Amino acid sequence: MFAATNQHGIVARALANNLYQLDAINPRDFTSDNYRRIDDKTFGGGPGMVMKIEPLELALAAAKAKQAACGVAKPVVVYLSPQGKRADQELINQLAQETGVIFVCGRYEGVDERFIQRNVDLELSVGDFVVSGGELPALLIMDAVVRQIPGAMNSQESVECDSFMDGLLDCPHYTVPRDYQDAKVPEVLFSGNHEQIRKWRLQQSLWRTYQRRPELLQTRKLTKEESRLLSEMLAKSQD
């Protein structure tokens, strides 16, 4: 699953350019029985299996040793779980500042709670839903983090203009053709007036955020300009 990350898109290009390193460690390599079992029945009864603490801790020790060999003294250990803190752009930006991160991907009913208590620095969720394992959520977080590494994107401005980077959703974007089956691109984008274009994009971001994610505006202090631009859109919507 993680090998696919090395072969496509921005994440693959950043890896090829040595902007980050990636190792995938299989806990099954740290089992002692012939069946390489990493899970067992949950104490107290109930459905499903639980990942055992011993192979997980041995795998984690191996991951930390690899990080240490790269000069990372204390990597952040992240466990992907629907019970964790909801990941957002602010948290992604914080992870991007770390010198090393270890993602622990659970399966089945989860992992032995003692492993979490003894080893995990941050428990993260990518949404209020359950998937079969932590690998896909880890890939999502990785992709978001790698985008923040200087040089990963062709244009740093693309990163800075992403949704959530300034607390707002991104504005709409258009490309050729200018007129498609009577659906036209807004004329302001052809005006050549960069200030007008900036204001239009900001206003669209504000309006889109107000319509789709109004809670984001409750935690963001709007500037005078932003308040005016949003008020203009509210007035137009009531006409």
Catalytic residue among 147, 208, 213, 220: 147
Q: Look up 86 and say whether it is catalytic.
A: no
* Dihedral (CA of 200, 205, 210, 211) sign: positive
**Nearest of 205, 127, 197 to residue 166 by alpha carbon:** 205
d(CA 196, CA 183): 22
Instruction: Select which of 54, 57, 98, 109 is catalytic.
Output: 109
What span, in angstroms and rounded, lies between the C-alpha atoms of 168 and 226? 11
Q: Is 162 a catalytic residue?
A: yes
Catalytic residue among 135, 162, 166, 226: 162
Residue 87 backbone dihedrals phi, psi, to 5 degrees = -70, 140
**Cβ neighbours for 73, distance < 8 A, ≥ 6 positions apart:** none
- Quickly count: other Cβ atoms within 10 Å of residue 78's Cβ: 24
Which residues face 123 on adjacent strands? 79
Measured over the CA atoms of residue 121, residue 127, residue 132 and residue 136, the dihedral's sign is negative
Q: Which of 27, 55, 75, 82 is catalytic?
A: 82
Q: What letters, b where the CB count within 10 A reaches 16 and e where it falls short, cover 40-75? A: eeeeeeeeeebbbbebbbbbbeebbebbeeeebeeb
Residue 147 designated active-site: yes
Q: Nearest Cα to 145, choosing from 100, 96, 91?
A: 96
Residue 157: active-site member: no
The residues annotated with a catalytic role in the active site are 82, 109, 147, 162
